[in-house]
Structures are given as structure tokens and as C-alpha cells.
Amino acid sequence: MTRTAIVTGGASGIGRAIAAELVRRGVQVTIADIANAERTAKELGCGHAVVDVTDAAAVRDLAEEVKARHGRLDFMFNNAGIGIGGASEELTLDHWNRAIDVNLKGVVHGVTAAYPIMIEQGFGHIVNTGSLAGLTPAPLMLPYTATKHAVVGLSIALRAEAAAHGVRVSVVCPGFVDTPLLDNTNPGLPQTEVARRARSTAIKAQGRLYPAEAVARDVLRGVARNQALIVTPASARAVWRVVRLSPSLAIRVAGAAFRRFVS
């Protein structure tokens, strides 16, 4: 029987790459996004829905529609997200609320839509997109960092519960990836120097940006292995290792990076 998947934020970036890789592997994919969903779906040869992940009812309706149409929902990729950048004193409650609404509540809406379906059918895999910033003391983007830490915590705690129902949960924590997110930081919000320099800062920090297509392959490899945390690329795993071995060192390094940026 053909497997099915929903990919939020599937019209561009990591979401598009995951959707393309799933289609290539024979999965019946529905991409959900607020813009360009139909165009991307035509390019990939999959289904689409215009959905804002901040709308819980719309996300729930999509999950129920896919289950009704195909008789199952195998994968829920809660991938939609936005970038927020700036020194904390520059950021307003609008920056914080937007990050929480999209990056955290968007994931919550996807989980609460898909999880009951997967419990009922006795199988399924929820894959939430976090970030290396959700595992490290990442400065200059605190709303983003906070929401991604929350996504990691949500995912690993849900994984502990979900196993009893035959449902799997993974969280993806990529480093800097070559996606439009780096060119559209603080979307619709007051801009900052950090936001304007997001791409160049990412390149300086990581050396080179990891391709979204490589992330997609890493993600699906991790999903096949039922990994709890999928951290990619290797440079991100190295940073994560430092954080686990010496949190105080990681904080000092982050503080030095902050001082270099603002000096």
C-alpha cells in the first residue's frame, strides 16, 4: 500500500527538498504552505494545500482529509518555520509572538492534528524540524532559539509517550542550510542588522551552507533508522558534541561570537 505524507512549509527550502525526495521514493505527498504550494506541487508531481500552520483548524482539516482520501497518514513533517534575528534589545514582542506562533505553535498544531490519527491506526511517524539552535546557546536570535529548544523538548518527550501507541517521533536539527529563510529573516517585521546579514553570517560561521537536498537525504535516512534526533551536517554534530561535553565552554564561545558581531 502506498504510504502518505504531509510536509508543511513544503513549497521551498528544506520542506521542498523533503517532499521531492519522498515523491522520488514513491510516497504520496501533500505539501502545505501559505504561498507557491500549487506551483511547487506541479513541479514535483504531488498534492498541495494552501494552509497557514498558525491556523490549528486548517492543519487538523488537512490531516483528516489526507487520512480520508488515502486511508492512512504515514508521515507528518512539521517543517514550516521562519527566521528571527537581532540583538535581544532590538526585538519586540511582535518578533517573539510571530516566532512562537509559527515555529512552536505551528508544530503543536501539526502534532495535535496527526497524533490522534496515528494512534488510531497504530502507526505513523511525526518529524518535527528543529534546529542546531535548539541544542545550543545560539545568541542574536533568541525568539528563534527559544522556539527551537521547545520543539526539541516537545519532540523527545512525545517520543517517550508515542512509542506505546506504535507511533514514532523524530526531530531534525540542521545547522545552516542554503534556503530562502536566510534571505527573508524577520518576514513582515522590523528589520535588524543581524537579519540583513543572516546569509553572510551563516557562511562565516559554518564555512559553507549545507544543501537542502542533502538535508532531505539525511532526514529520510534518520527516519528510516527511527533516530530520535537527526543532527546534520557533520559540523553541526561537532558543535552539539561540544555543548554536551562542556556547556560552559559553549556559552563562552557563543558570548565571544556575540561580542564580535556587535563590536
- pLDDT tens digits for range 10-33: 999 999 999 999 999 999 999 999
How far apart CA 224 and CA 145 sit, in angstroms, is: 27
Quote the percentage of the chain above a pLDDT of 70.
100
User: Residue 246: CB partners within 8 Å, gap ≥ 6?
Assistant: none
- Active-site residues, by number, are 144
Domains delineated in the chain: 4-262 (3.40.50.720)
The predicted-structure confidence for 128-181, as pLDDT tens digits, reads as follows 999 999 999 999 999 999 999 999 999 999 999 999 999 999 999 999 999 999
| Helix, strand or coil, per DSSP, at residue 211 | strand
Quote the percentage of the chain above a pLDDT of 90.
95
Query: In angstroms, what is the C-alpha Rg of the chain?
Result: 18
pTM: 0.96
